[in-house]
Amino acid sequence: MGDAFAFRIDATDGGARTGTIVTAHGQVRTPAFMPIGTQATVKAVMPEEVRRSGADILLGNTYHLMLRPGAERIAALGGLHKFMNWPYAILTDSGGFQVMSLAGLRKLDETGVTFRSHLDGAMVSLTPERAIEVQDLLGSDIVMQLDECSKLPATRAELERAMCLSLCWAERCKRAFEGAGPGRALFGIVQGGDQHDLRLAGARELGAIGFAGYAIGGLAVGEPQAVMLSILDTVAPALPVDKPRYLMGVGTPDDIVEAVARGVDMFDCVLPTRNGRHGVAFTRFGPINLKNARYADDPRPLDAESDCPAARAYSRAYLHHLVKANEALGAMLLSASNLAYYQTLMATLRAAIASGRLADMREEVKAGWARGGLSAS
Amino acid sequence: MGDAFAFRIDATDGGARTGTIVTAHGQVRTPAFMPIGTQATVKAVMPEEVRRSGADILLGNTYHLMLRPGAERIAALGGLHKFMNWPYAILTDSGGFQVMSLAGLRKLDETGVTFRSHLDGAMVSLTPERAIEVQDLLGSDIVMQLDECSKLPATRAELERAMCLSLCWAERCKRAFEGAGPGRALFGIVQGGDQHDLRLAGARELGAIGFAGYAIGGLAVGEPQAVMLSILDTVAPALPVDKPRYLMGVGTPDDIVEAVARGVDMFDCVLPTRNGRHGVAFTRFGPINLKNARYADDPRPLDAESDCPAARAYSRAYLHHLVKANEALGAMLLSASNLAYYQTLMATLRAAIASGRLADMREEVKAGWARGGLSAS
């Protein structure tokens, strides 16, 4: 175990910030992108490849891990870092989001949520206290409070109820967290959907409770990008300036660039790995769908200038072949290449903020995406 | 392109030999194990990982590649080595074996075989001449003749017919091969099933035609190991002593040890990667079935002394979890670990032959397998 949790801002550019989060498992350069390690693995990518892509931290899903192989089992085996051979920082979610989207037969009240496991049908209970306990057993560096995330569109009454419940659970999580292992940090989560006043009130009340970092939840759940960015314009300035801000579940490269410009420090998203498994590459020239027959004879790599072997050493024709033949190597190469693209984008954003040229970089990056993959390189 | 094809024997120990095959794409240390790259990829393993395991050469399947993406397409993209990012030696089979096992509606006569593609139902013709042409388009370092492989048990009449047809095709392949690209080598294939006299006659006639190497086909097709070894006892001494001997499609670690003792120099088999995808690890302590619930809490790696990170840096509990959760990383780690185990076994065999202690090594290796994975390490 190394240092206690800390956050340092090294430079700002408009609303954007670049800095460092210190954890017991190493430093996290911000703005940071966290690959998703749902079931204690970033799907189809070796941990050393995840690291080589530039990731300082990844996200583990409490819902999945508590059901299989079980948090107590992972604890007995030495914790999640050791279990999945990832000695760097780990953030775990609270499990609440997946309970809402995956589990059957949910019963939600002030106490918590009871649900039927999607694996074996067993009834499982998740309370704010249990969410903290499970994440403590996993050994997370960054622990998330249990919250209720509403899908959009939703009525104002529904959004207000979920926001208030999430605040109530935030307080219970903070109390429960006092018994957690050393070196961990607890983040609160702002809810409130697309209602600016609810978001503002939530951000202020969470700040008053006091957390090591603040997440913005309940976005990228079906609303247009403009709505998400407008909510960020409201929420980010209302959060404590000296704590990391984490936009949950976001997003496309464009979402990330825009959110960074609005002061977000952390992101997670399944897109690079999920799209990789579905044959889509993220590149400097925009997305490339390798399933398309136009790539069957294309000798060019995804990006001849990439640092990532998966993007540089294989032709689009070969990737097309692997995807069409449903070969595991297709998912492996495209997932690795996409993670590398995301991490390179984050490094570019950090460098741009540090040198005060984020606005220029934003235009350059978007011009590259607009050029398209066919005319490129 | 490097050197022309050559074979040098460095040491012998009883019937066993160790040496070097020189190809235009590097040297192959023998006895050699060739991982299978069916559809231009060793399933679920990055090419750099295949190389790191110690492989000098891999096998490509002509049947699969001629149907998808097509041999002409691979040639236009610079050949199979470049296509699959494997700059080392490649042996391709003739396609005949898979035509018999995978394709529909086969018509076989002296001319060749016509079959219905399992992919799109198109009718495709494979003659001895086309088999050579396709392998030349792929750019193989070692080209196999087209043959007919009988499943065992088979009648003597059937075995004799297939053996004679294979000899006839051997001559046609040799003539067709005279037009192949520089630096390639053509291997003939001995057939004859479990009939010793047919095998002997086939070996002598093939030797009279003259090939750069000799394969023993039609074994490990359903017969007991004792039958296979008895045929090897007959065939191997009847083959030219100064050419490599390749036992096709073999086999288990024990099969390989026994065949090396009988003078075989080359092997290929799907077992390490196929069993890896099915949750089974090959180790010094014998096979370990990670699906078994007894491993759910087992903190030990597959083999703490392995050079392979997949075998050393992950607990059996973690591998069990990945296999149960059907995560791609389970297949990736177990395939990589199994390839490393096979290559380590080959290195051990080479060293034992070089130092004249193959008999001792055989006993030690078998004692390790007998000890079992549970009591080990």
Cα A376 to Cα A298: distance, rounded to the nearest angstrom: 12
Cα B89 to Cα B55: distance, rounded to the nearest angstrom: 9
pLDDT of A374? 52
Q: Give the containing element (helix H, strand E) for A234.
A: helix A225-235
Compute the average pLDDT of residues B235-243: 98
Do A146 and A95 touch, CB atoms closer than 8 A? yes
Please report where in the chains the tokens 């080595």 appear, as a residue: B81
Q: Is residue A101 pLDDT above 90, yes or no? A: no
Three-state SS for B124?
strand
Q: Give pLDDT tens digits for A185-204.
A: 999 999 999 999 999 999 99
CA nearest A266: which of A10, A84, A12, A21?
Answer: A21
Residues from chain A contacting residue B299 (CB–CB below 8 Å): 77-78
Extended strands (E) in B256-347:
266-268, 280-281, 288-289
Could you please report the per-residue DSSP string of B66-99?
HHTT-HHHHHHTT-HHHHTT--SEEEE--SHHHH
Do B220 and B255 touch, CB atoms closer than 8 A? yes
Three-state SS for A108?
strand
Q: Give the containing element (helix H, strand E) for B37.
A: strand B36-37
Q: Of the listed B141, B268, B298, B303, which one is catalytic?
A: B268
ipTM for the assembly: 0.97
Please report where in the chains the tokens 């065999």 appear, as a residue: B349
Cα–Cα–Cα angle for A139, A140, A141, rounded to 5 degrees: 120
Q: Of the listed B13, B56, B93, B265, which one is catalytic?
A: B93
- Number of helical (H) and strand (E) elements in chain B, helices listed first: 15, 17
B283 in A contact zone (CB under 8 Å): no
Of the pLDDT bands very low, low, confident and very high (cuts 50, 70, 90), residue B225 is: very high
Give catalytic residue positions of A: 93, 268
| Non-local CB neighbours of A120 within 8 Å, separated by 6+ positions | none
Compute the average pLDDT of residues A218-223: 92
Q: Between B253-261 and B328-354, two packed helices, what is the crossing angle to 10 degrees?
A: 20
**Residue A228 Cα, gap to closest chain B Cα (Å):** 33
Cα A205 to Cα B283: distance, rounded to the nearest angstrom: 57
CA nearest B334: which of B322, B348, B346?
Answer: B322
Which residue from B minimizes the CA distance to A69?
A: B321
CB atoms within 10 A of CB B247: 29
pLDDT of B101? 83
Q: Give pLDDT tens digits for A110-162.
A: 999 999 998 999 999 999 999 999 999 999 999 999 999 988 899 999 999 99
Do B185 and B23 touch, CB atoms closer than 8 A? yes
CA nearest A17: which of A187, A246, A276, A282?
Answer: A246
Q: Is residue B105 pLDDT above 80, yes or no? A: no
In single-letter form, the type of residue at position B17 comes to R
The rounded percent of chain B whose pLDDT value lies above 90 is 91
pLDDT of B102? 81
Asked if the Cβ–Cβ distance from B325 to A68 is below 8 Å, we say yes
Structural domains in chain B, CATH included, are: 6-30+61-268 (3.20.20.105), 276-371 (no CATH)
Three-state SS for B161?
helix
Q: Is residue A167 pLDDT above 70, yes or no? A: yes
In single-letter form, the type of residue at position A260 comes to V
Q: Is residue B180 pLDDT above 90, yes or no? A: no
SS3 content of chain A, % helix, strand, coil (to 5): 45, 20, 35
B119 in A contact zone (CB under 8 Å): no
Q: What are phi and psi of A159, to 5 degrees?
A: -65, -40
CA nearest A259: which of A238, A275, A280, A236?
Answer: A236
By the 10 Å C-beta count (0-12 exposed, 13-18 middle, 19+ buried), A375 is classed as: exposed
By the 10 Å C-beta count (0-12 exposed, 13-18 middle, 19+ buried), B189 is classed as: buried
Please tell me which of the candidates B46, B68, B76 has its beta carbon nearest to residue A332: B46
DSSP letter assigned to residue A139: T
Cα A26 to Cα B47: distance, rounded to the nearest angstrom: 31
CA nearest B375: which of B294, B274, B257?
Answer: B294
Of the pLDDT bands very low, low, confident and very high (cuts 50, 70, 90), residue B347 is: very high
Cα A213 to Cα A235: distance, rounded to the nearest angstrom: 14
| Non-local CB neighbours of B375 within 8 Å, separated by 6+ positions | B285
Three-state SS for A20?
strand
Three-state SS for B341?
helix
- Number of helical (H) and strand (E) elements in chain A, helices listed first: 15, 17
Please tell me which of the candidates B84, B297, B329 has its beta carbon nearest to residue A73: B297
Q: Is residue A63 pLDDT above 60, yes or no? A: yes
The region, left, alpha or beta by phi > 0 then psi within -120 to 50, assigned to residue A44 is: left
The mean pLDDT value of chain A amounts to 95
Does residue B93 have an active-site annotation?
Answer: yes
- What sign for the dihedral angle of Cα A81, A86, A91, A92? negative
Please tell me which of the candidates A46, A313, A325 has its beta carbon nearest to residue B39: A325
Q: What are phi and psi of A200, to 5 degrees?
A: -60, -45
Q: Which of A120, A308, A312, A318 to mutate to test the interface with B (most CBs of B within 10 A)?
A: A318
**Residue B328 Cα, gap to closest chain A Cα (Å):** 5
Cα A266 to Cα A144: distance, rounded to the nearest angstrom: 13
Residues from chain A contacting residue B43 (CB–CB below 8 Å): 327-329
Q: Give pLDDT tens digits for B108-148.
A: 999 999 999 989 999 999 999 999 999 999 999 999 999 99
B315 in A contact zone (CB under 8 Å): yes
Q: What are phi and psi of B92, to 5 degrees?
A: -115, 140
pLDDT of A181? 80
Cα A284 to Cα A157: distance, rounded to the nearest angstrom: 42
Q: Give pLDDT tens digits for B298-332.
A: 999 999 999 999 999 999 999 999 999 999 999 99
Cα–Cα–Cα angle for B68, B69, B71, rounded to 5 degrees: 100
Please tell me which of the candidates B45, B77, B325 has its beta carbon nearest to residue A315: B77
Q: Is residue B2 pLDDT above 70, yes or no? A: no
A84 in B contact zone (CB under 8 Å): yes
Of the pLDDT bands very low, low, confident and very high (cuts 50, 70, 90), residue B1 is: very low
Is residue B69 reached through a cis peptide bond, with omega within 30 degrees of 0 on the bond before it? yes
Residues from chain B contacting residue A296 (CB–CB below 8 Å): 69, 73
Structure tokens at B327: 């995560």
Compute the average pLDDT of residues A72-94: 98
Structure tokens at B299: 């903190």
Asked if the Cβ–Cβ distance from B328 to A332 is below 8 Å, we say yes
Structure tokens at B329: 């990383």
Q: Give pLDDT tens digits for B5-43.
A: 999 999 999 999 999 999 999 999 999 999 999 999 999
Cα A120 to Cα A70: distance, rounded to the nearest angstrom: 13
Q: Give the containing element (helix H, strand E) for A267.
A: strand A266-268
Cα B21 to Cα B326: distance, rounded to the nearest angstrom: 39
B84 in A contact zone (CB under 8 Å): yes
Do B145 and B94 touch, CB atoms closer than 8 A? yes
Structure tokens at B208: 């009279």
pLDDT of A188? 98
Asked if the Cβ–Cβ distance from A40 to B77 is below 8 Å, we say no
pLDDT of A2? 54
Do A202 and A136 touch, CB atoms closer than 8 A? no
Between positions 330 and 349 of B, the ones with CB within 8 A of A are 331-333
Compute the average pLDDT of residues A19-35: 98
A24 in B contact zone (CB under 8 Å): no
How would you classify the pairing of strands A26-30 and A57-60? Answer: unpaired
Q: Is residue A376 pLDDT above 70, yes or no? A: no
**Residue B194 Cα, gap to closest chain A Cα (Å):** 36
Of the pLDDT bands very low, low, confident and very high (cuts 50, 70, 90), residue B373 is: low
Sheet harboring A6-13: ordered strands across? A6-13, A16-23, A26-30
Q: Give pLDDT tens digits for A237-254.
A: 999 999 999 999 999 999
Asked if the Cβ–Cβ distance from A43 to B329 is below 8 Å, we say yes
Q: Give pLDDT tens digits for A316-342.
A: 999 999 999 999 999 999 999 999 999
**Residues forming beta bridges with residue A245, ordered by sequence position:** A214
The mean pLDDT value of chain B amounts to 95
Of the pLDDT bands very low, low, confident and very high (cuts 50, 70, 90), residue B377 is: very low
Extended strands (E) in B265-350:
266-268, 280-281, 288-289
Of the pLDDT bands very low, low, confident and very high (cuts 50, 70, 90), residue A78 is: very high
Q: Looking at per-residue confidence, does A26 or A182 come out higher?
A: A26
In single-letter form, the type of residue at position A32 comes to A
With b meaning 16 or more CB within 10 Å and e meaning fewer, what string describes A75-112? Answer: bebebbbbbbbbebbbbbbbbbbbbbeebeeeebeeeb
By the 10 Å C-beta count (0-12 exposed, 13-18 middle, 19+ buried), A2 is classed as: exposed
